[in-house]
Structure 1
Amino acid sequence: MGPVRVAVVAESPQTRISLQALVEASPALAFAGSAADADMLVDCLAGSMPDVVVIDAEPLASDALKAAFDLGHAPPALVVLTDDADTDSIFDALTGDATAILLRDTMPGEIVASIEAAAAGLCVLSPEILARLLDGRKPPRQTASRVPFETLTLREIEVLAMLAEGLGNKEIARQLDISDNTVKFHLSSIFGKLGATNRTEAVMLGMRHGFIMV
């Protein structure tokens, strides 16, 4: 197989130059052309279809690019570089034809790897975008009994804060002047209310719900 043919869409001339240089520096890639928008790119390519188009734009710009290409051909894979990483725009882009969504400050080597992965039919997300997508789409955590989330008492918040500091049960008991069994009781209540299965998860959920700050 020959090198992956890559085209670039970016409003900024400097960005187009930088992405072209990145493509030309990789033996596995071949630069096919660049333009400021999708319509200009189609004119530039004169009917030739690239394997991958790198778009320095908002995720939904992939729709305009798809419309600009001849629907008689299989559309190219898309690698979108964006600053707009909110959950809705990411999800909308992924339900379209974008096969890679990266932040604009992604390292050059990672962009090249994403281009190759997209050409192979894989979906690529930067770690930051994946975290936002998962956090925005997963349902609120519930307890095993499926009851609504409960708030913590002041004492439970104190215990949770000490967990976050890495204190063990005996140290917590000593600092709060309570028994080890009482600490275990509070931990059991905290785990149940937060839906946590271990100490680390309890601390993470406590931070997410604003009970503690680390």
Structure 2
Amino acid sequence: MSIRVLVADDQSMVRAGFRMLLANESDIEVVADASNGLEAVARAARLRPTVVLMDIRMPELDGLQATQRIIAADRTARVLILTTFALDDYVYEALRAGASGFVLKDDPPEQLIAAIRTVAAGDALLSPAITRRVIEQFTRIPRSTPPPELEHLTQREIDVFRSVARGLSNLEIGRELFISEMTVKTHVTHILQKLNLRDRVQAVVLAYQTGLFDARPVAHQPEHPPT
């Protein structure tokens, strides 16, 4: 099954460039484009693309508001934010709106294509630079109360959650905790399910919104003994 992409950007040359770039990928199909946020919301609702490439600054309705509306209408929607700067002022708001990742417009083509495949697979794309930005933003706001579902995490899941919040990849977490990458992926899946989160980005937001790993340790259930 091909990855269906909607490109939303107010510059026609940018939209054309993405179409040309992605036309060479056998597993990716650009199903439509949009020149503003309102068009993006309407076409996302009608076409149900796998991934929406969303520019932040657009007329009529900006990318942030468009992302909020798309996610509100379809919780499974995946939005990949297009930005000019790695530390865009809208990073924090876009994450809270439900964006699954960020790519720079001047990133190498292969990096953009990999990002689309990553997000389409249900993973999130959050670079260490973006993670640091999130941390900086959340240190300036009052902490909210951690959700009671945190009590359902095992100690190993807490360890993995802490590493996810630091922006580490599954491979890096596995090396740090001396477990396989597949085991890490399984733990991440369980964490997201238990906390009712869409993806890793929401996990990072929750961790720093609640001050989860800079306060008292979270109570947890013990790991099941090995069989």
TM-score under structure 2 length normalisation: 0.51
**What's the CA shift for 1:46?**
7.8
1:25 aligns with 2:24: yes
Give SS of 1:21's match.
helix
Letter in 2 for 1:8: V
**Retained in 1: the 8 A contact 2:87–2:129?**
no
Q: Which residue of 1 aligns with 2:91?
A: 90
CA distance in 2 between partners of 1:68 and 1:136 (Å): 24
Correspondences of 1:27-66 after superposition (within 5 Å)? 27-43=26-42, 47-58=46-57, 61-66=63-68
Name the structure, 1 or 2, with higher relative contact order (CA <8 Å, separation 6+). 2
Give SS of 1:95's match.
helix
1:112 aligns with 2:113: yes
> Could you say if the C-alpha distance between residues 32 and 85 of structure 1 is closer, same or farther in structure 2, counting changes exceeding 3 Å?
same
CA distance in 2 between partners of 1:45 and 1:85 (Å): 25
Gaps of 5+ in 2: 141-227
CA distance in 1 between partners of 2:34 and 2:20 (Å): 14
**Retained in 2: the 8 A contact 1:9–1:35?**
yes
> Could you say if the C-alpha distance between residues 28 and 137 of structure 1 is closer, same or farther in structure 2, counting changes exceeding 3 Å?
same
Letter in 2 for 1:62: L
> Could you say if the C-alpha distance between residues 46 and 119 of structure 1 is closer, same or farther in structure 2, counting changes exceeding 3 Å?
closer
Deviations 1:43-67 (A, max 9, x none): 5568221111001224972332442
CA distance in 1 between partners of 2:66 and 2:55 (Å): 13
> Could you say if the C-alpha distance between residues 130 and 104 of structure 1 is closer, same or farther in structure 2, counting changes exceeding 3 Å?
farther
CA distance in 2 between partners of 1:52 and 1:10 (Å): 14
In percent, how many aligned pairs have the same letter?
24
Q: Which residue of 1 aligns with 2:123?
A: 122
Give SS of 1:47's match.
helix
Deviations 1:79-118 (A, max 9, x none): 1111354476322211221001122221111111111111
**What's the CA shift for 1:7?**
0.6
> Could you say if the C-alpha distance between residues 14 and 96 of structure 1 is closer, same or farther in structure 2, counting changes exceeding 3 Å?
same
**What's the CA shift for 1:126?**
3.7
Letter in 2 for 1:106: D
Name which of structure 1's ranges 39-48 and 111-120 shifts more when overlaid on structure 2. Answer: 39-48
1:67 aligns with 2:69: yes
CA distance in 2 between partners of 1:63 and 1:42 (Å): 9
Q: Which residue of 2 aligns with 1:158?
A: none
CA distance in 1 between partners of 2:108 and 2:131 (Å): 17
Gaps of 5+ in 1: 140-214
**Retained in 1: the 8 A contact 2:41–2:70?**
yes
Once superposed, what is the RMSD of the aligned Cα atoms? 3.1
Deviations 1:148-180 (A, max 9, x none): xxxxxxxxxxxxxxxxxxxxxxxxxxxxxxxxx
TM-score under structure 1 length normalisation: 0.53
> Could you say if the C-alpha distance between residues 130 and 22 of structure 1 is closer, same or farther in structure 2, counting changes exceeding 3 Å?
farther
* Higher radius of gyration, 1 or 2: 1
CA distance in 1 between partners of 2:31 and 2:68 (Å): 17
Deviations 1:18-53 (A, max 9, x none): 111122121121111101013223555682211110
Correspondences of 1:165-176 after superposition (within 5 Å)? none
